[in-house]
Structure 1
Amino acid sequence: MKRTLLIATAALLLLAASSCQKDGVYNPKKKISKIVYSGEGLSMQGSYRELWKWEGNKLVSRAILYCPPDTTYLYTYSYDGKRLASIIYKDFLNDHYCKTDFTYDGKYLQQADYYVGGILRSTAKFTQTDGKITAIDFIYLNLPDGSKGSFDNNLMLDMLMPLDLQQNEACLQLKANSKSGELIFKVSITWDGNNISKMVWDYDGYIKTNEFTYDNKRNPFCGLGVSWLNDLNEDYYLLGSTFKVFDKNNILASKYQDINRNTTESVTYTYTYKGDYPTSCIVKIASDSGTTSYEYEYLN
């Protein structure tokens, strides 16, 4: 299976919206220790495991393993007090290493800076309204040799852009002609209480939307970050992820629309619960004949 799935399920952690807890703090009541996910359709083929390591109330690492059980990807989290300060990501299959640092303005997340080989590659800037993130601006920077940072599925911030926008000729040309530090694309976020009801991507007029509905149970990923903002991605390896890290509740359905192409896609999520928390989820993409299943284990 493509490694884009793994990066999609464990890419950039840009922390939490205040609907779960304060920015930079992920301390859920029930803490995940293990996730197993497997699939039989286009959305996933094969089986993966995630092992989560905690020290007290802090998540210190997540190891992603593909069968046979070798550590394939590793995320290590560093803190400043209770707040997440940085994430180091290692891809052992491709000998890839990168780091994301976080900056706060008072109690709110202000900026995330992404580095490869010690070189700043891209930046995400956050707008907060009434304690919730309502907009994210993504800025890509020139490398020292003058070349533009390319769209690359290894890059945490690049993974937040829908894949078809990454590959669109007009978008690539726009990016190639842009100047260092120029805004590349913007995400706007609409809330309904403590859940995101709608997201809109705008890449110089290339517009995509995604609308969501939810259950009334507790979401164990709430507060983990905007790691999985790529719900709008047309790539099946990314579309059906269950990791919705802004929302208080668990997603039941999402509807995707490409405004320029006038196309739609829908995804449904069916859960098994123990008390207020899910223990498993089956994801079905409307245009995919197969399904993807997730099973969760908790420390407590």
Structure 2
Amino acid sequence: MRADRLVAVLLLMQARVRVTAAQVAGELEISVATARRDLEALSTAGIPVYPQPGRNGGWQLIGGARTDLSGLTASEAQALFLLVGPAASIAPDAQAALRKLVRALPQTFREEAQAAAEAVVIDPARWGEHTKERPEVVRRLQDAVVRRVKVRLVYAGRGREQSERLVDPLGLVDKDDIWYLIAGTPKGQRTFRVERVVSAEVTGEGFERPADFDLTAAWNEVVEQMEGRRSGLTATVLMDERHLWVMQDRLGRHCEVIGTEGDRVRITVTAPTPLMIAQHLAGWGGSIEVLDPPSVQAELARLGTELAARYG
């Protein structure tokens, strides 16, 4: 994320007095153009970072080699530590980094920043488990992402057919304990479900990460595409307003309110097929009314007939 990178640039400048865009790029493994934009962004934001022209020039923190990161506002410091704190609860290295960041903040911000960092604890282990380690393949892929080296994947698709491909690992996403790798391939950017990776060989061959690549934006595009495929059919449903929150909790963005009729609400429910919509709604029995389409009504009738035949 860019906010993380800007803090890293500041800490680097704190340690080195003066840096060039090329040095920042080398340390943070980004392009020189991206490093230059980050330095300019810090300067524009009011942080005393200025370019020094000349043969031995570069970018320097005015007023000496150290900074207390006073360019951060109190709310920005809280937001940063709310993000960093949960990671520190499960990673010793993150705990050490967090302590250093706290010391770098202005004194007036430290108490609230420390409280924000301690506000959330992440316990990834399920009940009955003492610890939960990241899968080895995830650690290997993460190392490749950081080092910017290509990976040779053996990947099993949905039909479990295996294929081998050489990819540029751009970033990893953990969504509800399922890991995804976003990578560059000869056919463009692709997303791989890590649990389907049969093997991952980290090569010594480097690659240039696209300067405009943003992992958050890339993942948002993946989510939109997936949700679009999951929302192929829409049904219109009437239900009691007092139970609406239950439906919304179960279906999330696939349930939308489009109107009211007295104490009932008119909603839309989306899913790829009539059967899948019917399966979502069957448990509500007569407390809901499906207005359309007929295909969903027919699937509900069929499910009702099957259940009555078996249990009636």
- TM-score category, normalised to shorter length: under 0.3
Q: Counting helix residues as a fraction of each chain, which structure ranks higher?
A: 2
Relative contact order: is structure 1 or structure 2 higher (C-alpha 8 Å, sep ≥ 6)?
A: 1
TM-score (norm 1): 0.25
TM-score, length-scaled by structure 2: 0.24
Whose radius of gyration is greater, 1 or 2?
A: 2
The structure in which a higher percent of residues are strand is 1
